[in-house]
Amino acid sequence: MTSVALVVAVFAACVVEAVEALTILLAVGTTRGWRSALIGAGTAVVALAAIVALLGPAISAIPIDWLRLLVGGLLLIFGVGWLRKAIMRAAGLKALHDEDEIFATQVAASRTAETERRALVGDWYAFTLSFKGVLLEGLEVVFIVLTFGTNQQDVPLAAFGAVAAVLLVGVLGVAVRRPLARVPENTMKLGVGIMLTAFGIFWGAEGAGVEWPGADAALLVLVPAVLAVCLAYIAVLRRRPELALGRSLERV
């Protein structure tokens, strides 16, 4: 996996998480005030940095074959989960992810919540909502950075891709002061799910002792293969929606 491919893969995955975190932050900041919302977001960033500092060296100490097996398994869990939701949405069996709707919901909740002051924080509701939103989405960014970075033995480069994604989404969010609803997030989630699944298969098999023909070039076959399977599922489910198991919104 080249350095460029590593940065692009991490960047694409982190853009999705950054958009979701930004939606929460904008909703809270515009309705409750920016000071407490930004303090909450900043506290979450500090907590995430501490997690990276603690887990990074520990993960790097794992033997490379065990690490690839572990990372491959984790990526498959995340990737298949993202793919399932993306396939259901593309097949019309699950509502599309709508950042405008999420923004409106968060705004409505923020306007009705009571204001509670705490030490150093003027609005505890704004602080906690921003903190939780940024922390939860940020944990997925941390997972992506650590798994991709440690497997390629270049966490700083993976972190660069993540920071670039967060900064880009943040700048665009400040510029438009609204959710990035025009970002094709559902399409991006399908693409990221395909990427995570393909890398999960590749690294998991390497960790189990498989030698791929062409080494990293095998990804050029795995990624289109996973895409083809996804498109086939979407086509079948559009024609035969009754084949979907657990397709209710509560379960997916």
Among positive and negative, which fits the CA dihedral 17, 229, 74, 12? negative
pTM recorded for the entire structure: 0.63
Q: Is the pLDDT of residue 183 over 70?
A: no
The pLDDT value given to residue 228: 93
Residue 34 or 107, more confident: 34
**How would residue 100 be classed by pLDDT, with cut points 50, 70 and 90?**
low
- Say which range, 16-20, 93-97, 225-229, has the weakest mean pLDDT: 93-97
Task: For residues 18 and 145, give the distance between their C-alpha atoms in angstroms, rounded to a whole number.
Answer: 14
First to last CA, the chain: 33
Asked which of 7-11, 135-139, 154-158, 247-251 is least confident by mean pLDDT, the reply is 247-251
pLDDT at residue 226, as a whole number: 92
CA-closest candidate to residue 129, choices 100, 106, 105, 97 = 106
pLDDT value, residue 252:
42
Q: Which residue has the higher pLDDT, 178 or 175?
A: 175
In angstroms, the CA 124 to CA 150 distance is 37
Most confident of 135-139, 157-161, 186-190, 226-230: 226-230
247 pLDDT more than 50: no
Query: For residue 119, what pLDDT is reported?
Result: 64
Q: What percent of the chain is predicted at pLDDT more than 70? A: 79
- For the stretch 32-69, pLDDT in tens is 778 888 888 889 989 888 887 787 777 767 777 787 78
Instruction: Provide mean pLDDT across the span 97-123.
Output: 63
Q: Which two tokens mark 46?
A: 């500090």
Q: Which residues of 149-180 are buried (b: 16+ CB within 10 A; e: fewer)?
A: bbbbebbebbbbbbeebbeebeeebeeeebbb
pLDDT of residue 180: 56
Question: What is the pLDDT at residue 243?
Answer: 59
What's the mean pLDDT when you consider all of the chain? Answer: 78
- Write out the two tokens for 175: 């510029």
3-state secondary structure of 118: strand
Q: Measuring CA to CA, how many Å separate 13 from each of 67, 195, 210? A: 20, 9, 26
Q: pLDDT band for position 76 (50/70/90)?
A: confident
pLDDT over threshold 80, residue 250: no
Locate all alpha helices (DSSP H) within the chain, ordered by sequence: 3-32, 34-60, 64-90, 99-112, 124-151, 155-176, 185-207, 219-239
To which residue do tokens 């097949």 refer?
91
Rounded Cα distance between 62 and 105, Å, is: 43
